[in-house]
Every structure is written in C-alpha cells, then in structure tokens.
Amino acid sequence: MKKTIFAGAIAIASMGVASAQGLYDLAPNDDAQESSPVKWYATANVGYDDNVTPTITSGPGHEQSAGYLSAYVGATFVSVTPQTTWDVYGQIGGIYYFDPIVTSNGTDTEDLFGEARLGFNITHRVSERLRLSSRNYVSYEMEPDYAYGMSSDRSLEQYLYYRTDNSIGYQWTERFGTYAGFAIYGADYQNSASANDRTTWEAYLQLRYRATPQTVWTAGYRYGQTDRDVLGDSTSHYLTVGVEHRFSPNTVFAGNIGAQIRDTDNGSDGTSPYIDLALRSQVNEQFGYRLFARYGYEDWDTTQGIDGVGLVAYDTNETFRFGITGDYIVSPQLTLFAGANIIYTDYSDGVRSNGTAGPNTDVSLYNLNIGFAYAINDAWSLTGSYNYTNSISDDISSRDYSRNRVQIGARVDF
C-alpha cells in the first residue's frame, strides 16, 4: 500500500476524540479509527472546595470555602468513511454551591453557575493528495483548562473561550507535503476581568518531509495578530523546525523549536526562543500517558493587579508550560488516573494606568489531580477525584494562594 505523508505520521491526542485539541495535540492527525453512534452520558458529583474564589485577596470571598453539587449531560458522535472523518461532542450542566459565591464586582453573590462545551472536527480527503481539515471548539466555564494554554486561575464568573483551526494539506510527492491554514481563537471575560479579553488570528504554513516510515521532518512559519482590550495589540512571527517520530506502534512524539519575533503596538518588541512538544505512549494494555511542554511569549493574563502599585498591563509575558496525564487500568472495574501541570510566567515591560512603568514580576503555578473510576456495570460507574493547586507570587496577591478540591460522584452511559 502506498504510504502518504499524512497517514500514520503522528497522532497526539488530548482525551481521545472528545477533546483531541489543545497543547497535547501538535500535529495534523485523524484520531478516530472507526465510527461510533451517538453516545450519551450524565454525571453528578458532590464536592468540597476550600478556596472557591482564590483571586480575591481580602474582604468578602477571601479564602471562602464551600460545598457544591455539579451535574452534566453530554454526547459524542463519530463518523469514519474512506473519504471523510468527523466527530461532534458537547456537554452542558452546572455547579450549585451550598453557600453563595462572591462574583467579580466583590459584592454580588451567586450560587448557581452554568457551564458548557461544544466541539466539531472534520477531515475530508478530496483525493490521495489533497486533504481538508477543520477543528472547532467553544467553552463557557470558570475553571482554567490547562490543556489549552490560556488562563491559569479560576475566573470569578464564567468566561467564553473559542477556537477554530482550518487547514489544507497537499502531498506533492511521495515524501514531500505541505499544510497551510488559518486559525482564530480568543477569550471573552465578564465585568472586571474583561481587561484580559483577547482575540487572535493566525495564518501558517508547514513543510513536511518523510525521511523514513517512522519520521517526518518539518519546517514552519506562523504569523499571528492579537487584539487586546487594554493597551497595545501585538503581532508574532514564528519560525520553527521540528520532527514527528513514531518510536513504536504505541509511542509517538512531535516537537518544534525555533524563534518567536514579537512586536507590540506602542510598546516593547522582542525575540524569544520558542519550543513546543508532545508525547503520547500506550506503554501496555493497562498504562498510558500523554505530556506536553511549551515555552514562548503569550498574550493571556497580561493585565495584573500589583501590590502597592495597582493595575499594570504587561507587553511581555514569557511562559513555560508543562503538563502530563495518565491512566492505569487496575482491573476491568477499576481505573486510576492522575495528572500534573507546571506554569512559570515572567512579566516585564509593564505600563501602569497613569502611563508610568510598572515593575517586573513572576508567577509560578503547580497543579496536581488524582482520581478513580469504578465500573458497577456496563452503564454505571462511581468516580472520585482530588485536585490541588499552589500559585506563588511575591508581588501579586491575587496570584498567591493554595486550593484543594475533592469530589465523589456517579456517571451513567446510555
């Protein structure tokens, strides 16, 4: 069978078809292997959070703890044909706190918060050489999703995150191919957090050369422009080289290294090393894991409240992100899972609200989660999890906190 430069090169997946995007997913891929009819599920949990509003530094809401109930219903669908692969997934639900929670204006309280996620991905093989792909995702929630590399802290109210990435792949020869695409993504916050609203669009081109059946070398260029609500917008040029390699049928890697050249309107310009990588491995039938790492300039969370200074908008936000997640099947009934995230952020070139320079600062965040799922039968399962977050900052009180969450619940698939 003739090998193509797209098929079998790499498949870095975040959480299977249902969320195969984000920093765990670096390479053009088709995660779905076979069709699946509509599958519904529902979950219900009871839990306790010892710091529901961690970014509130004093007064009402400071170090507030609360018990909660959460419930969600969702569905997934996958269709795979020789020419077209597409999947759609969605989830809607909410969290009810037994005690009212302070929202972002510091006085109003709410006890019920709705949340939702929706995704749609499609790949169409026009011919053996030409491939069209579209990957789309939108969420409305409060907790940060570290796998998407944006906000690092729980928002006091729901925020909207959206992303669409559309590309064309063409195989020019048996070894050489290209991908060209266009992406739009951003976040829309409520009330006082709206200073961190962002909209980014990007255009990119990737050259792909298959050196061996297991290895594809890449070279890429990406241009991005970010519109910010506070101070200057920014543009970035990314120049990278990379490799995608299959170490074994069950272990695959994708990585890029290069430079990010960034220009900020009426602000500071700079060049930074840029690195991203992802690895997926199914070690055996019981144990599998995924990890990612990324370093470069970011445009998220660049407006910060500095102790004794006030609000500062930063032009430069150098960030390193690392994440790992894995699961272990103890028995046909019991599965254990765990994950960790590390985020280091250096802020510089800040401007205060009065136009004067703001101080440089940094934030370190560590997150750990562990849990289990126990299948009672083919439909019902019991679940439980523990999540710990420790954010450290000497100059930003709202980013200096610890937080513990524990919950237990049930899930039904139908």
pLDDT, tens digit, 9 for 90 and up, residues 345-403: 999 888 888 888 889 999 999 999 999 999 999 999 999 999 999 999 999 988 899 99
Three-state secondary structure call for residue 195: helix
Strands 66-80 and 36-49: antiparallel
- Paired tokens of 10: 């790499």
Tell me how far apart the alpha carbons of residues 387 and 373 are, in angstroms, rounded to a whole number. 15
Tell me how far apart the alpha carbons of residues 289 and 299 are, in angstroms, rounded to a whole number. 29
Q: How confident is the model at residue 228 (pLDDT cuts 50, 70, 90)?
A: confident
Q: How confident is the model at residue 9 (pLDDT cuts 50, 70, 90)?
A: very low
Q: Tens of pLDDT along 112-131? A: 999 999 999 999 999 999 99
Q: How confident is the model at residue 192 (pLDDT cuts 50, 70, 90)?
A: low
Going along the chain from its start, the domains and CATH numbers come out as 36-292 (2.40.170.10)
Q: What letter would DSSP give residue 106?
A: S
- Asked whether the predicted pLDDT for residue 22 surpasses 80, the reply is no
Q: Tens of pLDDT along 321-343? A: 999 999 999 999 999 999 999 99
Burial class of residue 354, CB neighbours in 10 A (0-12, 13-18, 19+)? exposed
Closest Cα partner for 322 from 284, 357, 365? Answer: 365
Q: What is the dihedral of CA 258, 264, 267, 273, to 10 degrees?
A: -10
Q: Tens of pLDDT along 193-218? A: 666 788 999 999 999 999 999 999 99
Average pLDDT, the chain: 87
Cβ–Cβ contacts within 10 Å for residue 192, how many? 15
Cβ–Cβ contacts within 10 Å for residue 58, how many? 9
Closest Cα partner for 221 from 201, 235, 202? Answer: 202
Q: Which residue has the tokens 């088709």?
A: 30
pTM, full prediction: 0.88
Q: What is the dihedral of CA 49, 51, 55, 61, to 10 degrees?
A: 110
- Give the pLDDT of residue 191: 67
Q: Going by C-beta distance under 8 Å and a sequence separation of 6 or more, which residues neighbour residue 239?
A: 220, 221, 258, 259, 261
Burial class of residue 95, CB neighbours in 10 A (0-12, 13-18, 19+)? buried
Three-state secondary structure call for residue 1: coil
Q: Tens of pLDDT along 67-104? A: 999 999 999 999 999 999 999 999 999 999 999 988 76
φ, ψ for residue 33, nearest 5 deg = -105, -25
Three-state secondary structure call for residue 11: coil
Tell me how far apart the alpha carbons of residues 262 and 318 are, in angstroms, rounded to a whole number. 11
Tell me how far apart the alpha carbons of residues 414 and 410 are, in angstroms, rounded to a whole number. 13
